[in-house]
Amino acid sequence: MREPETNPRTTASSSLEPSCTAQLRTRRVALITGASGAIGAAIAEQLARRGDDVWLAYHRNGEKAERLAQHLQATYETSATALPLNLLDRPAMHQALARILTAHGRLDILIHCAGVTRDKLLIQTGASDFDDSLELHVTALYRLLQACLPSMRAHHYGRIVALTSYAALHGRTGQSAYAASKAALIGLVKAAALEEIAHGITVNAVAPSVTASAMTDALTDSEQARLLHQIPLGRMQTPAEAAALVEWLTSEPAGTVSGQVLAADNRTHRW
C-alpha cells in the first residue's frame, strides 16, 4: 500500500509554538502493534473514526492488516497503512519508526497491543514459553519506548497505552508466564510514566477481561459456559469496549492521567 504523503499542514518540528501544536493534535499519528487482532483492530477503528492517521503493525497476518487498512481509508477521512513489524527485531523496529517519521514527521500515539498466550500449568511451562512471553510483552515494549520517546520528547507530546490483562492483577490458572509478563509490563508502564510526564507524554495500561475474539470463539460450549459463569455481567467484553478505554487514554482530556491501569475486568475475581 502506498504510504501517505507528507502533509505540510501537519508536519511538525520541535520549535512549534503551543497554538500550532494544539492545531496539529486534531489529527494525530498512531502506531498500533497487534493491529490484526480483535482488540488491536477495534482500537484502530476508534482512532481512525476520530481522524487519526494509523499505522497497523503486524507480524504474521498481513492479509488481515491490509484489509483493515483498506477499510479504514475507505470509511474515514484518514490514512491507514499496514506495517510489517517483527517486535523482536530491534533494527526492524527502528526502520519501521523511520518510515512513520518520514511520512509524518512525528509519532503522537503508541499502542502496544501485540500479545501471545500459551496456556499451561506452571509445572508444565517450558523456559521458551516463559521467555517468549516476556520478550513480546515486556522487552518489545521497552524497545518501542526507546525508539519512540525521542520523537515524542522533541514535540513535547505523546500518548502511550499498553495492553495488560486481568491475569496480571489477579493471576489465572494455567497462565503463569502470561500473568508474570503482563504484570512486569505494568511495572515498566508506571516507571516510564514517572519519567515522561514532564515531557508532555502520558503512559498508561488497560487490563481487559475475557474479550470476545477468534480465540474465545474456538472454545467448546462447556469452556465458554465456565468462563461466563465467572463474569457477573453474564457476557464477555467486546473488543470495541476495550478499545474505547484506549481511545480515551489517548485523548486530549486524558492529558493529566498517567501511570494508571484501567481494569475493565467485569470483577471476574475467581477462576
Active-site residues: which are they? 178
Give the three cell numbers for residue 120: 499451561
The residue with cell 494525530 is: 28
Nearest-angstrom CA–CA distance, 160 and 258: 9
- The percent helix, strand, coil of the chain (3-state, each to 5) is 50, 15, 35
- 3-state SS, 12-78, equals CCCCCCHHHHHHHCCCCEEEEECCCCHHHHHHHHHHHHCCCEEEEEECCCHHHHHHHHHHHHHHCCC
**Which residue in 246, 251, 212 sits closest to 111, CA to CA?**
246
Question: Which DSSP helix (H) or strand (E) runs through 110?
Answer: strand 109-112
Nearest-angstrom CA–CA distance, 146 and 118: 27
